[in-house]
Amino acid sequence: MKKRWIAVSAGLFFYAVFLAAMVPATFINPILAHYGGNNLRVSNAQGTLWNGSGSLYGLEEIRWKIRLPELLLGHLHINVASSIATRAMDIFISPARIEMQHVALILPAAVLADWAPMLKSLAPGGKLSMVTEKFSASDTFFRGRLELDWLDATSSLSRVAPIGSYRIHLAANGRGLTLQLDTQKGPLFLAGTGSWSPSTGLRFSGTARSKNEQLAGLLNLIGKPSPSGAYRVLIGGRS
């Protein structure tokens, strides 16, 4: 009887492993939504969760592999190959930390509203280029640099499209991040510096200006006019 139960248990174990190995590739989307926001998803997913491919929001083709042994130890390791990247990317996720290596991705700019809720009213559109050689973050410590390019930016609050292209430099300083915003091109000029940490939230001080009269309404929404003709943009800590 004991041998019979061992055989049954072994059979059930291998059947469960077989079912797990066949989890469809579409299951990557709940993982992306949890860690990257609801606007980040893969379409036309093919293969399995562990070895799949698809289109990242219709902007680029990606292929990924998830290492099951590490997942059983509580660590999620995703190896990603992209149609625009020159080398494979590695993303490590654990309950306490997330780390990205050799990342070069094109994402929908709508993810900005997921990452920074105060931007939801702008309804950001366009593309977001994210590049880093190595960046890691936990609840209490940050390390590395991250460069974000908001390309052909649009907003539902303006009929002008695009309003410009912008670069955001993020640099970790241990317990938080410093940021610098610069304008690459476009009718709406934005520039400034700031910081972010779990304890203080986002703090930003910058300027905005434009010679395009159609952008006057947007300027009044994001800043306050100054004697110089530019608009002062201030974002405090947590509200």
Domain-by-domain residue ranges, the chain?
1-92, 109-239
Dump pLDDT digits (tens) for 84-138.
667 788 888 877 788 989 988 888 898 888 777 778 888 999 999 999 999 998 8
Q: How confident is the model at residue 202 (pLDDT cuts 50, 70, 90)?
A: confident
Residue 47 is encoded by which pair of tokens? Answer: 């293969």
Give the pTM.
Answer: 0.77
**What is the three-class DSSP state of 187?**
coil
End-to-end Cα spacing for the chain:
65
Please tell me the predicted confidence (pLDDT) of residue 198: 85
Kindly give, in sequence order, each residue whose CB lies less than 8 Å from that of residue 117, ignoring residues fewer than 6 positions away: none
The long-range contacts involving 228-233, CB below 8 angstroms and separated by at least 24 positions, are 231/207, 232/205, 232/206, 232/207, 233/190, 233/192, 233/204, 233/205, 233/206, 233/207, 233/208
Please tell me the predicted confidence (pLDDT) of residue 12: 41
CA distance to 138, 156, 169, per residue, from 198 (Å)? 10, 29, 18
